[in-house]
Amino acid sequence: MIKPEISLNIGSLQQAYRAGRLNPLQVVDFVMDAIGDDAHTAWIHRVDAPTLRAQAQALMERSPAGLPLWGIPFAIKDNIDLAGVPTTAGCHDYAYTPEVSATVVQRLLDAGAIAIGKANLDQFATGLNGTRSPYGACRNAFNPDYVSGGSSAGSAVSVALGHVSFSLGTDTAGSGRVPAGFNHLVGLKPSLGLLSTQGVVPACRSLDVVSIFALTADDAQEVFAVAHGVDAQDAYSRPAQPHGFDFGRADQWRVGVPRADQLQFLGDSGYAQCYQEALVHAKALGAEVVEIDFAPFAQTARLLYEGPWVAERYQAIRAFIDAQPDSVFPVTREITLGGAKLLAADAFAAQYRLRALAQRCAGVWADIDCMLLPTSPTIHPIATLLAEPIARNSDFGYYTNFVNLLDYAAMAVPAGFRDDGLPCGVTFIAQAHQDQPLLHLAQRWQRALQGQAATLGATGHAAVPFDPTMAVPSGQVRVAVCGAHLQGQPLNHQLTSRGARLVQRTTTAPNYRLYALPDGHRPGLVRVAEGGAAIDVEVWELPASQFGSFVDGIPAPLGIGRTVLADGRLVAGFICEPDGLQGAKEITIFGGWRAYRSQLK
């Protein structure tokens, strides 16, 4: 494990910038030194030193205000355009030099980020291993004899080695998650269309997403917030929708895991052990583990290389591969040309099969908020992969290949290490547009890790947490309840019938008094300047569209105002009109409605 002098975690870097210990020019020089001779073959093209220094100097003449990524270095997978820099997609003869950057890249540049260069990849983003490149096999950040994962190989390794703070990859079958798992990173595979793919060389156009690799989930959140948005130039672009219940910030949440007989580790006891430890970690964060039938997801995964999506890969580079087949990496050529043989009837048959499987998979979500799966069943040495390039590559996709086909979002997170020092990862998966809850959950997950598992990539550094500046709105309202609406109490159905979910059991700040109203069935919560106490409350989350009818059903003297919680947060909460306290009995000493009611029995 290396330990670079500077930690490039965004929180660390911003802290150093604010304190005046670093400036972007120094960071650019550090990055160039850190990359050195690129022993892991993470890079295809690096922006030249004078250009990078000029960009850093220009940033230093601007205020960081309004530039959330001011001076933050990043890498770009070399199937994503950066103006003035060749895009190769891992193929010398395919290369072209774009005049404008991809939309997602430009948004990051406009936010003050510094593009260091283009990262190595499995050619035409075809592969999950990182060896299918004429520029050389990309090597794992922890052990160069092992695969890096792909196709976003260099994107992951450059972050893990401390060359850059974050990177862009792409994900069609797991390429934004497998390399994260193999290199002890977080990897966000967003919902389809939330990050523009304008300026991206397609693999499967209908499934492709731009992904984010980062040292921390906080970093990934900040990058996602800057990068997402509708792009009129991208036919698949769509706005982020309200994500509903934020299980990532809930004390209690439901996580689906495959039945024991459906788990697959290909004899890798280290990965199996890491996954079991991950389940323990999830429970410690409030997860209720729910066994699910993984069969329809596994069957969906197999469609990816059996149906029209192979033909879609062929279509993406059809003119080039037909004209210059010998320019394509042999295994990539074999896979891609297989798509030329499929009939339109085959495409329809596969779509029908996918629709049927998707319906079966959809039934699982009634019982869970997200899934927790191994990111990969195992990892292989480069030599093993090269000996059986297709079969061993397929090993890595067992838990990833279905996600894009079903339009899910996913977040790969570190989980620990095998005895030989190679990292293991797990992935949380949720339905489309639940990217924000996944990011919130990953933040909690990572902050609760301990020991080596809490370090960043292969750098040995610890994270410096920070609060990302933006988030996708949830479309939910949180409300604190203290009486008859508590779980198990008579009016709780007024919340649950509106789709509300319990988020947290906590207390108010210690400046409230509680009264039993004269009807004996409801309490009145009153904020006071002195002589108050902390009162037990529950925080529930319900759709904003249902909040108005919930409030409308609250009879006087109660209403909804703002409640200060123990941690200082303000949420909607019950208040009582002063006239309603006439004849009421103060019950503050009990600390809550439940405790008061229990002594009446």
Query: In what helix (H) or strand (E) does residue 156 lie, and over which residues does it extend?
Result: helix 153-160
Query: In what helix (H) or strand (E) does residue 415 lie, and over which residues does it extend?
Result: strand 408-417
Q: ∠ CA 273-279-283 to the nearest 5 degrees?
A: 150
Alpha helices in 465-583 (DSSP H): 493-496, 544-552
Reading the block at residue 4, the tokens are 């670079």
**Is pLDDT of 288 > 60?**
yes
pLDDT score for 470: 65
Give the CA-trace dihedral at 484, 487, 493, 496, to 10 degrees: 140
In terms of domains, do 446 and 498 share one?
Answer: no
More confident residue, 75 or 347: 75
Reading the block at residue 80, the tokens are 């994503």
In terms of domains, do 520 and 435 share one?
Answer: no
Residue 33 one-letter amino acid:
D
3 within some domain: no
> Annotated catalytic residue: which of 77, 165, 167, 376?
77
Instruction: Give the single-character DSSP code of 380.
Output: -
371 within some domain: yes
* Confidence label for 112 from pLDDT (cuts 50, 70 and 90): very high
What percentage of the chain exceeds 70 in pLDDT? 99
494 within some domain: yes
- In this prediction, residues 334-338 reach a mean pLDDT of 90
Boundary-marking domain end, from 405, 422, 454 = 454
Give all strands (DSSP E) within 151-207, no chain letters: 166-171, 186-189
CA atoms within 13 A on the CB side of 318: 11
In terms of domains, do 339 and 248 share one?
Answer: yes
User: Cβ contacts of residue 460 below 8 Å, gap of 6+?
Assistant: 1, 2, 3
Reading the block at residue 67, the tokens are 């530039």
- In this prediction, residues 45-64 reach a mean pLDDT of 96
DSSP-derived pairing of the beta strands 114-119 and 43-46: antiparallel
Give the CA-trace dihedral at 365, 571, 468, 546, to 10 degrees: 40
In terms of domains, do 438 and 370 share one?
Answer: yes
In terms of domains, do 488 and 443 share one?
Answer: no
Sign of CA dihedral 288, 289, 291, 292: positive
> Annotated catalytic residue: which of 133, 151, 152, 155?
151
The b-or-e profile of 15-40 (16+ CB within 10 A means b, else e) is ebbeeeebebbebbebbbebbeebeb
User: Cβ contacts of residue 340 below 8 Å, gap of 6+?
Assistant: 311, 314, 318
Q: Which of 198-207, 457-466, 554-563 has the lowest mean pLDDT?
A: 457-466
**Is pLDDT of 4 > 60?**
no
**Is pLDDT of 391 > 90?**
yes
In terms of domains, do 438 and 536 share one?
Answer: no
Task: Judge whether 407 and 432 are in contact, CB under 8 Å.
Answer: yes
Q: Give the integer Cα–Cα distance in Å for 403 and 289.
A: 20
Task: Judge whether 162 and 394 are in contact, CB under 8 Å.
Answer: no
For tokens 């904003």, name the residue.
Answer: 544
Reading the block at residue 423, the tokens are 């990292």
Q: Please count the residues of the chain.
A: 601
pLDDT score for 520: 83
Catalytic, 77? Answer yes
Q: Which of 274-283, 392-401, 577-586 has the lowest mean pLDDT?
A: 577-586
In terms of domains, do 364 and 437 share one?
Answer: yes
514 SS3 class:
strand
Reading the block at residue 285, the tokens are 């964060």
What percentage of the chain exceeds 90 in pLDDT? 88
Task: Judge whether 171 and 202 are in contact, CB under 8 Å.
Answer: no
Start-to-end CA distance of the chain, whole Å, equals: 62
**Is pLDDT of 1 > 60?**
no
Catalytic, 175? Answer yes
Q: Give the integer Cα–Cα distance in Å for 83 and 74.
A: 15
Beta bridge partners of 139: 147
* Confidence label for 308 from pLDDT (cuts 50, 70 and 90): confident
561 within some domain: yes
In terms of domains, do 403 and 496 share one?
Answer: no
Q: How many other CB atoms are there within 10 angstroms of residue 202's CB atom?
A: 20
Residue 46 one-letter amino acid:
R
- In this prediction, residues 377-395 reach a mean pLDDT of 96
In terms of domains, do 428 and 558 share one?
Answer: no
User: Cβ contacts of residue 215 below 8 Å, gap of 6+?
Assistant: 8, 9, 10, 159, 165, 166, 185, 186, 456, 457, 459, 461, 463
pLDDT score for 2: 45
Report how far apart, in Å, the C-alpha atoms of 327 and of each of 320, 322, 334 are: 9, 10, 12
In terms of domains, do 430 and 518 share one?
Answer: no
In terms of domains, do 409 and 551 share one?
Answer: no
Backbone angles phi, psi at 311, to 5 degrees: -65, -35
CATH number, domain of 502, equals 3.10.490.10
Average pLDDT, the chain: 94
Instruction: For the chain, give percent helix, strand, coil, nearest 5.
Output: 35, 20, 45
**Is pLDDT of 533 > 60?**
yes
Computed on alpha carbons and rounded to an integer, the radius of gyration of the chain in Å comes to 26
CA atoms within 13 A on the CB side of 73: 32
207 within some domain: yes
Beta bridge partners of 228: none
467 within some domain: no
Report how far apart, in Å, the C-alpha atoms of 277 and of each of 248, 416, 448, 486 are: 19, 8, 13, 33
- In this prediction, residues 104-128 reach a mean pLDDT of 97
pLDDT score for 243: 80
**Is pLDDT of 177 > 80?**
yes
pLDDT score for 476: 85
User: Cβ contacts of residue 278 below 8 Å, gap of 6+?
Assistant: 372, 415, 416, 426
236 within some domain: yes
113 SS3 class:
coil
Q: Give the integer Cα–Cα distance in Å for 550 and 546.
A: 6
Number of domains in the chain: 2
Q: How many other CB atoms are there within 10 angstroms of residue 323's CB atom?
A: 9
In terms of domains, do 150 and 20 share one?
Answer: yes
> Annotated catalytic residue: which of 12, 133, 155, 175?
175
Boundary-marking domain end, from 454, 486, 501 = 454
Range of the domain at 576: 476-598
* Confidence label for 383 from pLDDT (cuts 50, 70 and 90): very high
Q: Give the integer Cα–Cα distance in Å for 380 and 198.
A: 34
User: Cβ contacts of residue 399 below 8 Å, gap of 6+?
Assistant: 174, 373, 374, 375, 376, 377, 427
pLDDT tens, position by position, 8-31: 999 999 999 999 999 999 999 999
Reading the block at residue 58, the tokens are 């220009």
Catalytic, 151? Answer yes
Residue 56 one-letter amino acid:
A
pLDDT score for 306: 76
Ramachandran assignment for 211, one of left (phi > 0), alpha (psi -120 to 50 degrees), beta (any other): beta
Boundary-marking domain end, from 401, 419, 454 = 454
25 within some domain: yes
CATH number, domain of 361, equals 3.90.1300.10
